[in-house]
Structure formats: C-alpha cells, structure tokens
Amino acid sequence: MQAIKELDYRPNAMAKGLASSKTTMVGMIVPDLTNLYYAELAQGIDAVAKIYNYSVSLAVSDGNAKAEREAFDTLRSKQVDGVIYMGSNPSDEIMQLMVSSSVPVVFAGSVDPEGKFPSVNIDYIQAFSEAAGKLKENFEDSKIALVEDPDNSKLSQLRRQGFFKALPNGKTYQAEDEYQMGYNLGRRLLSDGIKAVIVAEDATAVGILNYVRDNHVEVPEDFQIISTSDTKLVKMTRPSISSVTQPKFDIGAVAMRLLTKLMSNQEVSDPAVILPHEFVLRETTK
Amino acid sequence: MQAIKELDYRPNAMAKGLASSKTTMVGMIVPDLTNLYYAELAQGIDAVAKIYNYSVSLAVSDGNAKAEREAFDTLRSKQVDGVIYMGSNPSDEIMQLMVSSSVPVVFAGSVDPEGKFPSVNIDYIQAFSEAAGKLKENFEDSKIALVEDPDNSKLSQLRRQGFFKALPNGKTYQAEDEYQMGYNLGRRLLSDGIKAVIVAEDATAVGILNYVRDNHVEVPEDFQIISTSDTKLVKMTRPSISSVTQPKFDIGAVAMRLLTKLMSNQEVSDPAVILPHEFVLRETTK
DNA sequence: TTGTATGCGTTATCAA
DNA sequence: TTGATAACGCATACAA
C-alpha cells in the first residue's frame, strides 16, 4: 500500500484481461449519436456501466449492414465482455454474427426480430394503438397516417400492428429519420388530405410540423401530430409536439444492468423486459 | 490463411496490446452525449478513428470535476493510446492529471486554458465579434446581451472578449446549457429591455426564443437572436435561429487525426488548429 | 527467409 | 496463509 502510493502504481488492464480473459469492457453499437433517442439511451448505458466498473467501447454503425458488421467485429477483437445493440433494423448478417459469437448481447430500445436476445423496450403495439386512439376521436381513419421508417423491420411491423389495431383503415407513409425527409413528406401529406399523423421518429415529426406550419395550416386545428420518442426536440418546437413518452435513460440503464447479469452468468428471469410508456398531451393535439 | 478461415481465428487484442504496449484504443471524454454539439464532434472523432483502426472508449464526464477525473483514470487504466478531451471548463484537477500522465491528449472543440495541449477550435473571439457586429447595426449596445455559461472558463473569456470588442457597452447574462434555463432567462431579458442576444449554447437559445415568442414578442422585429453552435436544433425552431456555424464534424475529425499523429510520434506543425467558421442568416435576425 | 525463445503484467494453480 | 510458477496470446529479438 505504501509502495502503491509512492510508485503511483496502476494495474495494467491488458495484462489483467489477458490473464483473466475478462476485459471489463462492453461494446455499444449505436446507429447515430446525433439522434437524441439513442444519445439518451447511451447516457443510461454509460451510467450503469460506471456503477459496475465497466468501460464502454463505442461503435457507430450508421445503421448500415457493413458498418454494423465491422463494428461488431472490432468489438469482438477487443474482447469485450458483452455488447449492447441499438438499431431499428439489425441486418441478417449481424444477427448471425451475434448468435454465433458467444458474447452476451442485449438489445436496448431495439427489437430483436427473432427474439433470441434479451432486450429492453416499451410495448410498441400498445403505445401505437393508444396514440392512434387519441386521433380516432377527431378524424375518420382514412385521414390519419402512420409515418414510419422505410425499412420493414420487426419494429416497424409492431408499430404498424398497433396503429392498425386502432385504425384499421389508416394510411401509412415512409420517411427516413431525418428532419428534411419529414419536411419533404409534409407536402404529400397535405395534398393527400391527411389530417393527423403518428410519427415514428422525432426529427421527422418536427420536419412535418414545420412544413405544415410554413404552409399556413393551423396545428392542431387543421392538422395533428403525435410523436413517439419524446426526445428533447418535441418540447422545443412551437407548437410543442404531443408524444408517446419512453423512459429512454432507464431503457439504457436496465439493458446495461441486464448485461452485467449475463456477463456474470446470473440467471435472468425475464429476458424481454417491457418498460412502461406514457402519453404527454402537448400542443399538436387536442 | 486456410487455417485462419477454418478456425475463424481472430487476433486477441489484449495479448497484442500487452506485447506491443499499444491498445489501438483512444479515450473520448465528453460532458454530455445529448448535447448535439458534442454528439456531432463525437461522430467526427469516431469516423477518423475508424479509418486509423482505433477503437474509441467512451467516458461521459457530466462536466463535473470528479466524474472527469474518474473518467480519465479509468481511461488510463485501460491503457488507451491517447485521449480526446471535450468540455467547456476543464477542472484544474484533470489538467494536472493530463499533463503528468504522458498520454497524448488533444482538445476538440474545447479550449485548453493553459495552451499546453494540441487543440482544434474555431476563432471564438473573431466569431463572437462578428456576430455582435451584426446586431450592432440595429440596436444600441446596451440593448444587446451575451448569454454565456456561468463557468468562468477560458472559453467564456474568449467569447466575451469577442463580444465586447464589437460592443463595448454590451451586457452579459449567465445561463446553464439547458433549454429550461434559457426559457427562464427569457423573462429577465425582456424585463431588462434587452432587444437582441448572442447565445453560447443552442439549447439555451431555443429556450430564450420560445419564452420570448410565448410572450408575444415578435422575432426578429422586436427581438433578435444569434446562436453559436449551429446544431440541428436551430434549424428546427420557428423562426429558425441565425447562427455562427462551426464545422463540428471536422473539428472532431481533425482532432482525432492530430491525435493519431501524436500517438505515432510524428511532428505536429501547428498544435492549435483553427478551423473556419461562418455565419448563417436565418429568421431570428434581419 | 523461417523458426524458436523470451518478455509483456497479470491471474491462477499448486506446493510448501 | 504465503510463495513461487505456469499460463494468457501475441511481439520481438535472435538464431538457424
């Protein structure tokens, strides 16, 4: 203890890792850090990683299959003890890699299409069904649309399932998760006579809102919007956007906690954790 | 090559690291991932880290001295080959740790108070002076305010220096980098008769804008706003916010590139890189 | 060029 | 309980 002070000794993590075959490092695969949804998940992940003394190795996947694969590969070569996967549409390729890799994986705010991995999510079907229900009161089905990712991911399917459960005759539109894509879509929505939308991604929702407002349509009088991630964004617009809320920080935190259990071979009672969502009424609905 | 395929052999990064005393891992200290300014820097960092085959180990510092210290400590124990520091106000503590640690450090979008480390930034004095100049045309000095972080960091000093260079009789207000803090400050600004503000942080700027608008003040007619980070946020508000633009992705990228040079002991010609900024006129100024 | 031993800083094993 | 020693998987230096 004396010497440890005097020499400012610090254990060498690599030697430790080599000998114990544990790195106390987890990989975090994330599509895009500038997407606030994932950023907030990441904060939750980081927070509990700290508590359990894990470092987190970042791997931005851009949501494309190749980068995703490479991200997972470098994580593996780094001998991470586990990985948190985020992404709306995991490629078949990475799914295969993951199942065959033997490192524990948990999905955070992302749905595993085959249900092979533990995951933490909200009940998307229920959430989208409820959101659709709010709009049903004011408009006929055919005037209400779901704006979803162009991918045909399991997540998209769940959202659609919930949406159609409440609105069997609702419409669907595709737009990538970008502000400008939403803005561009606004034109089509208006010309198609759509009166209300549920939007899968916040940035897209803001884009739609701005297009609609820029074209002098009154919100919520003549057009209503419900967003479904409830990031900081939707509180910053005017009118502010009503939204399904998700406990994003907690989703990340619980996912990471789950992973720590897996990494220490503890039993996991329920591998598919569902956290509660809510609905916040703001100014784009009434 | 045959065997490498058959056995799906992957080199063990730890053994490699132990033997070569290189980890091909860099640490990234970031105050808050949900701050889009840092998120965009991080994307730039990650992009060139990939190119040079470095992994990046994430360490969220919350901008507080203790967490910052711990972040740096765990990075060191992980034997990272270098670290990218981000943060508006590095504590004395971490500065000391860094100088005494012998691992290469570069500051990205963050100013080193003592100029001891290589860094990548814009010319804050110039940028804030120019921004202030735009407002000077329309209002008298005493009606124009700089909204800055409450910390008295070197960065804040530079901003102030630029601001006062153009507006010797300008005012200053403090607000933490949060939407709500900006919103709250809005009240004081209006009651003090302020007519135009330059805001150091985007989220704060949006808060001010919304307060002002919510209280039926016309923007830009009766109140003008200039933001200075130009994150996605400022394009999403209505009116959209005029802003000093920063090449955030590039700042991160160049910082990481610089770090790779340092890590391979190459000479670095200019350790304090200044990247060009611009000004984008949007709807909160005229 | 190809092969062989030694060291990297720990953990883990086994003996004392 | 303590102490010595063999892995851990790769680099590196040296010998063949």
Q: Average pLDDT, stretch B147-152?
A: 94
Question: Could you tell me which residues are beta bridge partners of residue A275?
Answer: A122
Do B139 and B179 sit in the same domain of this protein? yes
**pLDDT value at B1 more than 80:** no
Do B172 and B267 sit in the same domain of this protein? no
Q: Which positions 14-73 on chain B have a beta carbon less than 7 angstroms from any atom of strand D? A: 15-16, 18-20
Do B183 and B44 sit in the same domain of this protein? no
For position A2, what pLDDT does the model report?
81
CATH number of the domain bearing residue A181? 3.40.50.2300
**Where in the sequence is the domain holding A197, given as residue range(s)?**
124-245
For position B40, what pLDDT does the model report?
97
Do B130 and B93 sit in the same domain of this protein? no
Q: Average pLDDT, stretch A184-205?
A: 97
Per the domain annotation, does B283 fall within a domain? no
For position A163, what pLDDT does the model report?
97
Do A175 and A196 sit in the same domain of this protein? yes
**pLDDT value at A270 more than 90:** no
Do B169 and B262 sit in the same domain of this protein? no
Mean pLDDT taken over chain B: 95
For position A137, what pLDDT does the model report?
85
On whether any CB of chain B is under 8 Å from the CB of A15, the answer is: yes
Give CA separation, B11 vs A77, A200, A243, in Å.
7, 41, 47
Residue positions counted in chain B: 286
**pLDDT value at A99 more than 80:** yes
Q: Name the 3-class secondary structure at B194.
A: coil
Per the domain annotation, does A234 fall within a domain? yes
Do B174 and B240 sit in the same domain of this protein? yes
- Give the nearest partner residue to B12 out of A46, A79, A237, using CB atoms: A79
> pLDDT (tens digit, 9 = 90+) per residue, A100-150?
988 999 999 999 999 999 999 999 999 999 999 999 988 889 999 999 999
For position B6, what pLDDT does the model report?
81
Per the domain annotation, does A282 fall within a domain? no
Do A131 and A186 sit in the same domain of this protein? yes
Per the domain annotation, does A283 fall within a domain? no
Are the Cβ atoms of A33 and B43 closer than 8 angstroms? yes
Do A252 and A232 sit in the same domain of this protein? no
> pLDDT (tens digit, 9 = 90+) per residue, B19-30?
988 999 999 999
Do A190 and A260 sit in the same domain of this protein? no
Do B113 and B150 sit in the same domain of this protein? no
Per the domain annotation, does A285 fall within a domain? no
Nearest CA to CA, how far is A186 from chain B (Å)?
14
Per the domain annotation, does B143 fall within a domain? yes
Q: Give A12's contacts in chain B (Cβ within 8 Å).
A: 18, 77, 79
> CB–CB of B46/A60 below 8 Å?
yes
Nearest CA to CA, how far is B199 from chain A (Å)?
16
Nucleotide in closest CA–C1' contact with B19: C8
Q: Which of residues 51-90 of A touch B (CB under 8 A)?
A: 53, 55-60, 70, 73-79
Percentage with pLDDT > 70 across chain B: 100
> pLDDT (tens digit, 9 = 90+) per residue, B162-221?
999 999 999 999 999 899 999 999 999 999 999 999 999 999 999 999 999 999 999 999
Per the domain annotation, does A156 fall within a domain? yes
Do B136 and B160 sit in the same domain of this protein? yes
Choose the weakest-confidence range: A76-80, A184-188, B208-212.
A76-80
Are the Cβ atoms of A236 and B77 closer than 8 angstroms? no
Q: Average pLDDT, stretch A259-282?
A: 93
What letters, b where the CB count within 10 A reaches 16 and e where it falls short, cover B241-269? Answer: bbbbbbbbbbbbbbbbbbbbbbbeeeeee
Per the domain annotation, does A104 fall within a domain? yes
Q: For residue B114, count other CB atoms closer than 10 A to its CB.
A: 11
Number of separate domains in chain B? 2
Q: For A184-234, give the secondary structure using H, E and C.
A: HHHHHHHHCCCCEEEECCHHHHHHHHHHHHHCCCCCCCCCEEEECCCCCHH
